[in-house]
């Protein structure tokens, strides 16, 4: 029996990559790259949530950046109100978003999968408007806490000091997120999700409470979105409504599919493309709007011919060369 | 069955009256009329978008999320040609034709590749197409304040104390007309009959020898024309901004959801109600800022209403 | 003993099942009838996917129609579908395990029970192969294993022999009969394959247009002229 703690080759690669990001990456990166990697890491956490819901249940969530926004808002709000440690604030933000994730699944729980996607699209549109209207707390008065000129920043994390430490914190959280998802998938919830994806009737027939497990999946995606938003807020200090537009939520989902939603590598590829491709285009003097075109075309390509995304193609490539080497070795 | 339908409409009428009264209470009649008029027009646009989406979805099984982007492409083209001093009616037609062409391209080239996939996957794919169009249009016309106006903007008539520009009247008329025309088309023409058959059951229609590709092409064409018309009107009445027009698809979806993605009359009424409520919310000091959310909130409430008493069993046939 | 009492189902204006009653007393029973006779509808009533307008289904004094659908599995209802519902991304072992995941609160040796069931159907050597790699027969065997874990009360097979060769179908029939004896559950088998029904079912219910047209010992029922007219006649035309 493949035990719960069994580590696959892809898992080893992931752990090695995480170790590299934790130990080496902060040492070799300059100030600018540190902030780029940190925010990429935040988006890795968020995309892990969307990707998992799509890969395991075939459910489409188009609200993830909106949930990040809520997470960021809560973190900032708490940070300005009380003196709780930053980590606690982020965790609370995650839990708040968990509840939002559940609420999101509610209106369409008993309807076709398409409705769920449409509800999340509407939620993304709605949150977009709310963020633009109310903005993010920056130390101002009152509940919304918005002042014309920003005050001092919220307190940083206790566990980590400086931008290097912050990047390590984010890498650690990202690793924990993947482990959380993997642990679910290898146990009872994962089996229930697999049945739901097969068909809801078959899931009911084996005794799965379909509504509960669907909601639970959305709750996990919400938790990760909220934590990602909180970490992003902590790294930048101030948040801007423009970061959390509905377009961005759509983009996150699109990239999760393009990267390969079943694999950690796919999620990392997605986050990297999301943060780095527009910046590269800008550097080359090309409008970043073209990244929309590239992502859109990538999605069509993935949906039509490569449902497991870039990550799967890389895995197949690696697996192919490994067997080739083995064959050569046996021949020699 | 019948009673359910009637009680539904009665409930809608009662709720609508209550909302109108509570929001409009104490406001000056002129102001109220102003918001009502603009609400009717905005709502008609949502309804038009929703009607195009539902018609296409029922016939082809594709929920097209790129129709807003196609509309934006058409509207920007019209604006550009007007800037170059082209003959206005020609620019309108070219704008609509461009949206139509963009939509039809997807319908003919890309959609068939996904014909046997899950409904959700089909919808997601159109999202990719929307991003492509959005990116290209935003690349060609960088974001700056623009305005598109039609000659009908300066013509107006007074109706029950409300001033309606002719543009608004056209939009309202178009939405009502579209529902009636589509209804008649589906009911009285041969192509309409085939569309209904397709909406009912694709596999059986194919067995019956209905030319699926041809019927689908007609549906894509009609919905493309809808997207173009709606995009240009939206640009005139509300805002000429690529991203905003692209995401007009969201309130349209909200309207479509209220009609369960099938009932055009309900989509029309829902769309118009949403527009009216959204605009009247301007009168509420607390909710003014978030009034664009109104359509989504309404759609979510309707969703809860629709799934009441429903039990989760077999996923319905998509 | 399983007692179906006056079960009536209507879809809009169509009566899919009209006051169907039957008291099953033998462990393995069959339900046959031409297409559209209401066989699968009856199963869906038992599963809770279709709510009847009237009727009751009793097993040892428990009316199962009052239990919420997903809880019926906890109580002991098992079912296989026309299209074997084996999840592609779970292993054979996990596909059986999922049935126990949501059972009665119970500890016990769940893994051992799954392994036993897999051994019973002869799938032990494929326990850790993913569902996607199994062929139709192996999927059917997994289905049987799934249906026998966790003290089943009622087990329903919807066309279990669909898509199987003659030998495979025979083997499966033997397993179903043995499994009924082993678990003490009430086994119901729907199939077009009259030979399979004749071989494994001691009693049989025949439906036509939503009505019960015969019920009793299988051999007698199959010889009933009414049944021959309604069902076997059609079968001959099809063949």
* pLDDT-derived band at C209, boundaries 50, 70, 90: confident
Range with the largest mean pLDDT of A2-6, B157-161, C96-100: C96-100
Query: Which of the pair, A111 or A256, is modelled with greater confidence?
Result: A256
- What is the SS3 assignment for A332? coil
HSE-up (13 A, CA, CB side) for residue B186: 20
What's the whole-model pTM score?
0.88
Spatial neighbors of C50 by CB under 8 A, at least 6 apart, are: B313, C9, C16, C41, C44
- CA B175 to CA B47: how far, in whole Å? 7
Torsion angles phi and psi, residue B201, rounded to 5: -160, 105
Q: DSSP secondary-structure letter at B107?
A: I
Q: Shortest CA distance to C31 belongs to which of C135, C154, C182, C172? A: C154
C136-160 mean pLDDT: 90
pLDDT at B313: 46
pLDDT at B317 over 50: no
User: For residue A317, what are its two tokens?
Assistant: 């490539």
Q: Which of A146-155, A189-198, B3-12 has the lowest mean pLDDT?
A: A146-155
Q: Shortest CA distance to B192 belongs to which of B41, B100, B305, B55? A: B55
- CA B166 to CA B153: how far, in whole Å? 6
Q: Which residues of B touch A109 (CB under 8 A)?
A: 307, 312
What is the torsional sign of CA A164, A169, A172, A173?
Answer: negative
pLDDT digits (tens, 9 = 90+) for A100-158: 999 888 887 777 788 888 888 989 989 998 988 888 887 777 777 777 776 677 777 87
**Angle in degrees, CA C68, C70, C73, rounded to 5:** 110
The percent of residues in chain C predicted with pLDDT above 70, rounded, is 95
Judged by CB atoms closer than 8 Å, whether chains meet at A191 and C90 is answered as yes
pLDDT at A185 over 70: yes
Judged by CB atoms closer than 8 Å, whether chains meet at A195 and C87 is answered as yes
pLDDT at B301 over 90: no
pLDDT at B145: 80
- What is the SS3 assignment for A52? helix
- Three-state SS annotation for A175-227: HHHHHHHHHHHCCHHHHHHHHHHHCHHHHHHCCCCHHHHHHHHHHHHHHHHHH
Q: Nearest C-alpha of chain B: how many angstroms from A100?
A: 14
- What is the SS3 assignment for B307? coil
A163-176 mean pLDDT: 91
Judged by CB atoms closer than 8 Å, whether chains meet at C86 and A204 is answered as no
pLDDT digits (tens, 9 = 90+) for C60-117: 888 888 888 888 988 889 998 888 788 888 899 999 998 888 876 556 788 888 898 9
> Mutate which of A54, A105, A118, A119 to test chain B, going by most B C-beta atoms within 10 A?
A118
* pLDDT-derived band at A228, boundaries 50, 70, 90: very high
pLDDT at B163 over 90: no
* pLDDT-derived band at A240, boundaries 50, 70, 90: confident
Q: Is C122 exposed, middle or buried (0-12, 13-18, 19+ CB in 10 A)?
A: middle
Q: Which residues of A touch B121 (CB under 8 A)?
A: 303
Torsion angles phi and psi, residue A9, rounded to 5: -55, -45
pLDDT digits (tens, 9 = 90+) for A29-62: 888 888 889 999 999 999 999 999 999 888 888 9
* pLDDT-derived band at A297, boundaries 50, 70, 90: very high
Torsion angles phi and psi, residue B66, rounded to 5: -100, 5
Instruction: Work out the mean pLDDT of chain B and round it to a whole number.
Output: 85
pLDDT at A50: 93
Q: Which residues of A touch C93 (CB under 8 A)?
A: 1
Instruction: Work out the mean pLDDT of chain C and round it to a whole number.
Output: 85
pLDDT digits (tens, 9 = 90+) for C24-64: 888 899 998 887 788 888 988 998 888 888 888 988 888 88
Q: Nearest C-alpha of chain A: how many angstroms from B293?
A: 5
* pLDDT-derived band at B102, boundaries 50, 70, 90: very high
- CA A58 to CA A261: how far, in whole Å? 10
Query: Which of the pair, A2 or B290, is modelled with greater confidence?
Result: B290
Neighbouring subunits of A (3+ Cβ pairs under 8 A): B, C
**C213-217 contacts, C-beta under 8 A, 24 or more apart:** C213/C33, C215/C22
pLDDT at B312 over 60: no
Beta bridge partners of C29: C188, C203
Alpha-carbon distances, residue A242 vs A76, A326, C99 (angstroms): 16, 51, 47
Helix then strand count (H, E) for chain C reads 10, 10
Question: For residues A158 and A85, is the Cβ–Cβ distance under 8 A?
Answer: yes
pLDDT at B134: 93
Torsion angles phi and psi, residue A267, rounded to 5: -65, -45
Spatial neighbors of C83 by CB under 8 A, at least 6 apart, are: none
pLDDT at A6 over 90: no
A299 near B CB under 8 A: yes
The percent of residues in chain B predicted with pLDDT above 70, rounded, is 96
> Mutate which of B1, B4, B312, B313 to test chain C, going by most C C-beta atoms within 10 A?
B313
User: For residue B195, what are its two tokens?
Assistant: 């569309």
A258-282 mean pLDDT: 89
pLDDT at C232: 56
pLDDT at B46 over 70: yes
User: For residue B310, what are its two tokens?
Assistant: 């429903």
pLDDT at B75 over 90: yes
Q: Which of residues 43-82 of C touch B (CB under 8 A)?
A: 48-51, 69
pLDDT at A73: 92
Question: For residues B81 and B98, is the Cβ–Cβ distance under 8 A?
Answer: no
pLDDT at C69: 87
- CA C167 to CA A297: how far, in whole Å? 50
C217 near B CB under 8 A: no
Neighbouring subunits of B (3+ Cβ pairs under 8 A): A, C
User: For residue C131, what are its two tokens?
Assistant: 């569902």
- What is the rounded (10 degree) CA torsion for B149, B152, B153, B155? 150
pLDDT at C234 over 80: no
pLDDT at B45 over 70: yes
ipTM of predicted complex: 0.87
**Ordered alpha helix ranges (H), A24-154:** 25-28, 31-57, 64-81, 86-105, 113-134
- CA B240 to CA B245: how far, in whole Å? 7
Q: Which of A192, A197, A205 sits opposite C101 (nearest CB)?
A: A192
The b/e string for C23-54 (b: 16+ C-beta within 10 A; e otherwise) is: ebebbbbbbbbbeebbbbbbbbbbbbbbebee
Judged by CB atoms closer than 8 Å, whether chains meet at A209 and C81 is answered as no
- What is the rounded (10 degree) CA torsion for A119, A125, A127, A133? -150
Instruction: Work out the mean pLDDT of chain A and round it to a whole number.
Output: 87
Q: Which residues of A touch B113 (CB under 8 A)?
A: 304
**B160-168 contacts, C-beta under 8 A, 24 or more apart:** B160/B33, B161/B29, B161/B30, B161/B33, B162/B33, B162/B34, B162/B36, B162/B37, B163/B33, B163/B34, B163/B37, B164/B37, B167/B41, B167/B233, B167/B236, B167/B237, B168/B37, B168/B38, B168/B40, B168/B41, B168/B237
- CA B176 to CA B253: how far, in whole Å? 18
pLDDT at A64: 93
**Angle in degrees, CA B136, B137, B143, rounded to 5:** 120
pLDDT at B101 over 90: yes
Torsion angles phi and psi, residue A77, rounded to 5: -60, -50
User: For residue B182, what are its two tokens?
Assistant: 């589509």
Q: Which residues of A touch B314 (CB under 8 A)?
A: 199-201
Q: DSSP secondary-structure letter at C91?
A: B
pLDDT at A193: 92
Sheet holding C14-24, edge to edge: C14-24, C2-11, C54-59, C62-63
Q: Shortest CA distance to C123 belongs to which of C94, C98, C152? A: C94
Pairing of the two strands B162-165 and B156-159: antiparallel
Question: For residues C69 and C78, is the Cβ–Cβ distance under 8 A?
Answer: no
- CA A63 to CA A225: how far, in whole Å? 9
Left (φ > 0), alpha (ψ -120 to 50) or beta: where does C76 sit? left
B174-187 mean pLDDT: 86
């Amino acid at each position: 029996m493949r035990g719960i703690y069994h580590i696959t080759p892809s898992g080893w690669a992931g752990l090695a990559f995480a170790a590299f990001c934790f130990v080496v990456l902060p040492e070799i990166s300059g100030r600018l790259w540190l902030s780029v990697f940190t925010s990429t890491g935040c988006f890795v956490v968020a995309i892990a949530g969307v990707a998992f819901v799509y890969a395991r249940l075939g459910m489409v969530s188009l609200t993830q950046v909106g949930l990040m926004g809520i997470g960021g808002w809560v973190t900032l709000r708490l940070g300005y109100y009380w003196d709780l440690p930053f980590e606690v604030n982020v965790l609370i933000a995650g839990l708040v978003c968990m509840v939002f994730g559940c609420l999101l699944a509610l209106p369409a729980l008993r309807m076709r999968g398409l409705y769920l996607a449409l509800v999340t699209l509407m939620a993304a549109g709605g949150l977009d408007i709310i963020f633009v209207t109310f903005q993010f707390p920056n130390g101002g008065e009152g509940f919304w806490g918005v002042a014309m000129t920003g005050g001092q920043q919220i307190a940083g994390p206790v566990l980590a000091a400086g931008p290097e430490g912050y990047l390590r914190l984010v890498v650690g959280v990202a690793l924990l997120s993947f482990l959380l998802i993997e642990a679910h998938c290898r146990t009872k919830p994962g089996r229930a999700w697999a049945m739901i994806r097969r068909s809801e009737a078959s899931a009911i027939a084996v005794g799965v409470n379909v509504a509960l497990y669907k909601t639970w999946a959305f709750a996990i995606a919400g938790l990760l979105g909220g934590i990602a938003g909180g970490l992003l807020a902590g790294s930048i200090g101030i948040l801007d409504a423009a970061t959390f537009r509905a377009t961005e939520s759509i983009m996150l989902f699109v990239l999760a599919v393009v990267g390969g939603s079943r694999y950690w590598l796919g999620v990392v590829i997605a986050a990297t493309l999301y943060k780095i491709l527009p910046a590269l285009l800008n550097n080359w003097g090309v409008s970043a709007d073209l990244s929309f075109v590239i992502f859109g075309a990538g999605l069509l390509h993935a949906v039509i011919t490569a449902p497991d995304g870039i990550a799967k193609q890389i895995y197949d490539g690696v697996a192919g060369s490994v067997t080739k080497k083995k064959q050569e070795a046996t021949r020699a | 069955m019948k009673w359910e339908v009637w009680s539904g409409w009665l409930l809608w009428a009662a709720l609508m009256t209550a909302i109108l009264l509570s929001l409009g209470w104490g406001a000056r009649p002129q102001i109220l009329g102003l918001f009502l008029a603009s609400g009717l027009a905005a709502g008609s646009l949502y309804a038009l978008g929703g009607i195009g989406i539902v018609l296409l979805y029922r016939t082809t099984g594709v929920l097209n999320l790129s129709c807003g982007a196609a509309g934006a492409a058409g509207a920007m083209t019209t604006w550009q040609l007007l800037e170059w001093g082209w003959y206005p009616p020609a620019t309108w037609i070219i704008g609509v034709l461009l949206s139509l062409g963009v939509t039809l391209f997807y319908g003919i080239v890309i959609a068939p590749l996904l014909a046997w996939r899950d409904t959700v996957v089909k919808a997601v794919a159109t999202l990719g197409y929307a991003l492509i169009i959005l990116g290209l249009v935003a690349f060609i016309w960088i974001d700056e304040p623009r305005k598109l106006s039609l000659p009908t903007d300066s013509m107006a008539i007074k109706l029950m104390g409300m001033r309606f520009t002719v543009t608004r009247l056209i939009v309202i008329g178009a939405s009502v007309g579209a529902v009636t025309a589509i209804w008649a088309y589906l009911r009285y023409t041969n192509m309409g009959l085939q569309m209904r058959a397709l909406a009912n059951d694709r596999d059986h229609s194919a067995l019956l020898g209905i030319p699926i590709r041809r019927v689908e092409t007609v549906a894509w064409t009609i919905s493309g024309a809808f997207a173009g018309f709606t995009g240009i009107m939206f640009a005139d009445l509300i805002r000429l901004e690529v991203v905003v027009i692209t995401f007009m698809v969201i309130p349209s979806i909200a309207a479509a959801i209220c009609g369960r993605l099938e009932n055009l009359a309900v989509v029309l009424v829902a769309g118009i109600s949403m527009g009216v409520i959204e605009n009247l919310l301007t009168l509420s000091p607390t909710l003014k800022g978030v009034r664009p959310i109104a359509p989504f909130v309404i759609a979510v409430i309707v969703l809860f209403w629709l799934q009441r008493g429903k039990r989760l069993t077999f996923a319905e046939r998509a | 003993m399983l007692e179906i009492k006056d079960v009536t189902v209507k879809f809009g204006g169509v009566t899919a099942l009209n006051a169907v009653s039957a008291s099953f007393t033998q462990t393995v029973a069959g339900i046959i009838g031409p297409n559209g006779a209401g066989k699968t509808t009856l199963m869906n009533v038992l599963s809770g996917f279709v709510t009847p307008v009237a009727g009751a289904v009793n097993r040892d004094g428990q009316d199962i129609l009052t239990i919420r659908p997903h809880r019926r599995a906890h109580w002991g209802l098992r079912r296989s579908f026309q299209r074997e519902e084996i999840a592609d991304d779970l292993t054979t072992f996990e596909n059986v395990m999922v049935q126990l995941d949501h059972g009665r609160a119970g500890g016990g040796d769940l893994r051992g029970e799954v392994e036993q069931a897999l051994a019973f159907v002869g799938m032990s050597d494929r326990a850790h192969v993913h569902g996607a790699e199994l062929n139709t027969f192996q999927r059917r065997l997994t289905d049987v294993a799934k249906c026998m874990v966790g003290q089943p009360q009622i087990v329903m097979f919807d066309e279990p022999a669909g898509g199987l060769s003659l030998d495979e179908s025979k083997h499966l029939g033997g397993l179903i009969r043995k499994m009924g004896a082993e678990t003490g559950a009430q086994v119901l088998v729907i199939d077009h394959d009259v030979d399979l029904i004749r071989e494994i079912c001691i009693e049989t219910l025949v439906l036509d247009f939503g009505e019960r047209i015969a019920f009793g010992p299988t051999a007698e029922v199959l010889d009933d002229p009414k049944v021959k007219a309604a069902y076997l006649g059609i079968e001959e035309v099809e063949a």
